[in-house]
A and B are shown apart, each in its own frame.
Chain A
Amino acid sequence: MIQAELNEILSDPLESTRQLSREGRRVIGYCDNYVPEEFIHAMGMVPVRLMGSAEHITLADSHLPIFAGQLSRSIFDQGLRGKLGHLAGVVLSNSSDAIRTLFDLWERHIPGQWVGLVDVPAVLQGETNRRVFGSAMLRFIEQLEKFGGHSLDPAELRRSIAVYNENRRLLKKAASLLGSRKLNADTYLDAVLSGFLMPKERHNGLLLQLLENAGTGQAGPDLLPLHISGPLLVDRSFLPLLEQCGATMTSEDLGTGSRYFWDEVSETGDPVAQVIDRYWNKVPESYKTPMEPRWLHFSARLGTGNAKGAIFVVERYSDEDQYDYPIFRDRLQQRGIPSLQLDAEFVLESEQARTRVQTFVEIVKGRVS
């Protein structure tokens, strides 16, 4: 029943967000885990994630080189083709060079749509960067207030924080059920992804139902437990493929997964400052430095899932992740954990992926037994 609902939402992500606009909500599309959704939510708007698509790019190629990557190219293509016209606005960030470029392009070519920028540093270290990170977030609030036509109400923000924290706790619960094999990997992924496309209040309700029913799904005891890493995993055919190859995901540190929801906002003290703190301290993404906290999160997740190997699903042209892979691979190797890198451009090229995953699973199984 819940699965059917998830299917519906994820089968056409844009349509799901369009529905919200039809309901009269002010929907804001954002990209990147450093966009402080709590602020947008507290302004009475609904932040939804721009998921891009695997569709053939038509208009964006006149502005972006192929190597800007599928995510930014497809988002911009959707923008140029008017497919995001239902959004009240768009928020981009200074994350990867491609997404930052998107901000410039949006301003130049989609002038009718409000676009905000979260211009926070890439270096999450040092007094200066900490201060600049905070003031960049405050500048983002100013942009929002100007756009929203009213100021950010601290009481509203507290409520938003509570909603988002609850969402994070529920998702963490789901992650722990995934680790103990009480929740199917594909259901887990669908549950996480769907949260990007609806108001968090509604998502919380859905997660509550899902978690109540968890434990009934059978993960199959002989499936090899694996950790999945990468900036984004939106190809829903990947986990079934994994299962067909005799393995399952029991932990992840995906950008569209636990890296997104892992950290909560403290609910005491000044709410604005606490939100900023959360983003400064969160598990860093691959385009932030230093990488050490991300490695710690990676290894902790992998440990909890009791994973016997790791698969890195790396978006082509996501250079940040491409640089990290050999480092993480070698560190894992030192701990006797094998890994595999798969290239994706939103979707994995399935036959090639199948062969490689199959071989990898056999190798790992051979080591385990």
Chain B
Amino acid sequence: MSTQTKKGRALNSSYQAGNILKEYWEDAARHQAEGRPIAWVSGNVPIELFWSMGVFPVYPENYSAIIASIQRAQEFCEEAEQRGFSNDLCSYSRVNLGIILGKGIKDPGLPFGGIPRPDMLITTRIPCLIQVKWWEAVREFFKVPLFVVDATMIDLPVKEHQRQHYLGQIRELIPIMESKLGVRFQEDKFLEALKLSDEAAGLWLDLLDTRAAVPSPVGSREMCGNVFPLVAMLGSSRPIAFFKQLLEEARECVKAGKGAVENEKIRLGWDNIPMWYNLKFFSDVEDQNIIFTYETYLKYVWGGRMDLSDPWTAFANKHLDVWLNYSIDQRVRTLLSDIPKFKLDGFVFHENHSCKRFAMGQKDAAVAIQEKLGVPSLFIHSDMADPRAFSEGQSRVKMEAFIELLQAKKK
């Protein structure tokens, strides 16, 4: 079995991810400069709608993750805290509010020249209620229209009344976007966007599936860097070529039996958002013949497939079928079927202080996978963006002990 060199990306195409991100933020600025509308949006909004209507969807969540990854989250979190926002609040929001209320979204010291000003704020309760509160705070500052898409939690399959709830709101949102943003909804364009979205999602999910192979062609650190187009660009053509290349490469690796880590010994899963300021956490583990090859965050949060023979139903299903919107039972069922498929030896739950809804139910899931599958788990208490919540020493010791346990079990 051959292996790749330790450092560097397992898949060459992953090097494109940085450029895509840069282009996205530059495109957003250009879009605004050309007088076209910008909406600030959040995870799990009906993204295809925006691309099909010519409204640029700007993701402050992504921007906060970028800020975290360049080790600047703390200063903005502190800025927000000084202005009265509790340090218990979602750190994406604290970074964002710290930027807005501090030197402002156009501060030249910010990456990509800052964040374009919103013409409208659109968010959804699908992943959490926090996002709604955050957007209310943002609206207080920008005084632009706000629309919130609501949803109640689901068990699969999605129920008809939940679908109708979702679609009813989308039907209300469209004319509001038309009148507030001066754009026009055209169903053929929307259906085209759905097609692009589904194609990209299909490629992405196939890519994730290649990681069920032993050895796994690509680990979590790299995949967390590759997910952005899935978050923000579904409905545009951009992600398709990128995911296609990643998938082809990953398939070749699988065919050649080439793993992302040398001599893969242990396979792990990850739950909740990664610590963006510390993706090294993943690669440090990978240095020890261990790979993270499954993440709920990458598989069930952004892009699902759609059966486009019934596009509106598929559209609603896809947007409601999101990990954060799953009941605990649904989360447990999903893990019980995925863990054997991905041949995981252990599972790491990130008890993320910021993303509380993600973290609810983790303890039940841990018990279930231990009892039903004999797969042990580890809890890391930290935060996705605020580095102050991460205790390096403690996490390292816990991780080492966990690895020892898994190694002993494998013998």
Contacts and interface: CB of A to CB of B under 8 A. Distances in A.
Contacts of A101: 328, 357, 360-361
A83 interface: no
Interface stretch (A189-197, A269-277, A319-327): A319-327
A3 interface: no
A104 B152 contact: no
Contacts of A105: 328, 361, 364
B363 A62 contact: yes
A123 B90 CA distance: 20
Nearest to A101: B360
Interface stretch (A47-55, A127-135, A177-185): A127-135
A97 B360 contact: yes
A65 B356 contact: yes
Interface string B343-380: 00000000101001101111110000000000000000
A65 B136 contact: no
A25 B132 CA distance: 40
A323 B172 contact: no
Interface stretch (B81-89, B111-119, B252-260): B81-89
A121 B150 contact: yes
A100 B153 CA distance: 9
B140 interface: yes
A21 to B, nearest CB: 29
Tell which of A135, A136, A319 has the most Cβ of chain B within 10 Å.
A319
Contact of B84 (A97, A123, A289, A329): A329
Tell which of A107, A132, A323 has the most Cβ of chain B within 10 Å.
A323
Contacts of B180: none
B84 A326 contact: yes
Contact of B129 (A67, A132, A314, A320): A320
Contacts of A119: 152
Contacts of A65: 351, 356, 359-360, 362-363
Contacts of A125: 148
A252 B356 CA distance: 29
B172 A128 contact: yes
A104 B169 contact: no
B71 interface: no
Tell which of B93, B329, B361 has the most Cβ of chain A within 10 Å.
B361
B295 to A, nearest CB: 19
Interface string B38-74: 0000000000000000000000000000000000000
Sort chain A's interface into a size bin: 35 or more
A316 interface: yes
Nearest to B153: A100
A94 B154 CA distance: 12
B316 to A, nearest CB: 12
Contact of B137 (A68, A327, A343): A327
A250 B362 CA distance: 43
Contacts of B125: 122-123
Contacts of B132: 122-123, 289
A361 to B, nearest CB: 20
Given A128-B169, A317-B88, A122 B150 contact: yes
B362 to A, nearest CB: 8
B165 interface: yes
Interface in A313-369: 314, 316-317, 319-320, 322-327, 329-330, 341, 343
B84 A64 contact: no
A98 B152 CA distance: 14
B168 A128 contact: yes
Interface in B107-155: 125, 128-130, 132-134, 136-137, 140, 146, 148-150, 152-153
A111 interface: no
Contacts of B351: 65
B161 interface: yes
Nearest to B354: A67
A342 to B, nearest CB: 12
A100 B129 CA distance: 11
A262 interface: no
Nearest to B363: A63
B129 A122 contact: yes
5 closest A-B pairs by CB: A128-B168, A326-B84, A323-B133, A104-B328, A123-B150
Given A323-B134, A325-B84, A330-B140, 4 more contacts: A97-B360, A320-B130, A323-B93, A326-B137
Interface of A: 62-65, 67-68, 94, 96-98, 100-101, 104-105, 107-108, 119, 121-123, 125-129, 131-132, 135-136, 286-287, 289-291, 314, 316-317, 319-320, 322-327, 329-330, 341, 343
Interface of B: 83-86, 88-90, 93, 125, 128-130, 132-134, 136-137, 140, 146, 148-150, 152-153, 161, 164-165, 168-169, 171-172, 327-329, 351, 353, 356-357, 359-364
